[in-house]
Amino acid sequence: MIPKAEFGRTGHKSTRVIFGAAALGSVSQKVADQTLEVLLRHGINHIDTAASYGDSELRIAPWLRREPGRFFLATKTDRRDEKGAREQLQRSLDRLGVDHVDLWQLHSLADPIEWDQALSPGGALDAARLAKEEGLIKAIGVTGHGTQIAATHRRSLDRFDFDSVLLPYNFITSQNDYYRQNFDALAETSEQRGTAIQTIKSIALRPWMENEHTRTTWYQPLESPDDIDLAVWWVLGRRGVFLNSVGDVDLLPLVLDAAERFKEAPDSATMQTLVERTDSIPIFV
């Protein structure tokens, strides 16, 4: 089984790999149910989805009826105003077939104008605060992408004491000095506050070239099991972070298998060799 750790101050002891349910956005219920069996074999107890992930919330709903109480359930809103976010939360609850979620996240909050709107009076954060008071959600998080997002999340934590943050983390991204320094500072603040850190894009290889998409990930992923092992182990080698799995159901078993066999992180020389051998390049400019 995959080891567990305290998910920040939420009181949940989560598997260090979280199922990234974007992988369910365009699959059938049959494929989704087969994916559930994979998760159960590895003991995964945390699902992360979003209102914008196609049919993902609908695909998860039967799982929650079948396995009540097994999963910590997180979803997201991409609306920036209070009214729109509230409406989207209610839609998510209806689609998931639940009366509350464990974590509701302000999704992809990177644009400065949208950031200010969402975190100002009348913004999505106000919807989250009210929903928490009403028991519709238990915790509030924020997510984002791009080379600036670690710095942006630091600003977000200055504005509001979020329960979790979610952002990219892999070896090649960490070679960007600006990103690494802000990620390290974010991690230090998060540890002090008990803020959970979720990471994404662990097995990213490079951006897709035009007309090249062969997976449901929005980036081209590593596909060799040995390469995936190294990428997953490198992320899990950082204490205190959680790894959100890949957005492709066919690659998911490889990520989970790697996590289950994790013992220690590969060194930098090994990871640099991986980068050179696979011609990896950053997915964010």
Radius of gyration over every alpha carbon of the chain, rounded to an integer in angstroms = 18
Is residue 285, in this structure, part of any structural domain at all?
Answer: no
Quick check: is 222 in a domain? yes
Domain-embedded: residue 99: yes
Q: Is the pLDDT of residue 199 over 80?
A: yes
Average pLDDT over residues 236-248: 97
- Domain with 43 in it: what CATH number? 3.20.20.100
Residue 85 counted as domain residue = yes
- With a cut of 90, say whether residue 258 has pLDDT above it: yes
User: Which residues on adjacent β-strands are paired with residue 243?
Assistant: 17, 199
Residue 153 scores a pLDDT above 80: yes
If we measure between CA atoms, which residue out of 132, 146, 75, 130 comes closest to residue 106?
A: 75
Picking from 268, 253, 112, 139, the residue whose alpha carbon sits closest to that of residue 196 is 139
Q: How many domains does the chain have?
A: 1
In a domain, 187, yes or no: yes
Is 159 exposed, middle or buried, given 0-12, 13-18 or 19+ CB atoms closer than 10 A?
middle
Supply the pLDDT for residue 122.
98
User: Is 0.75 surpassed by the pTM of this model?
Assistant: yes
The answer to whether residue 285 scores a pLDDT higher than 90 is no
User: Is position 283 within any domain?
Assistant: no
Instruction: Look up the domain containing 220 and give its range.
Output: 4-278
**Residue 90 — pLDDT band, cuts 50, 70, 90?**
very high
Averaged over 27-40, what is the pLDDT? 98
The overall longest dimension of the chain from CA atoms, in Å, is 52
State the average pLDDT for the chain: 97
Q: What share of the chain has pLDDT > 90, as a percent?
A: 94
Question: How many of the other CB atoms lie within 10 Å of CB of 97?
Answer: 14
28 assigned to some structural domain? yes
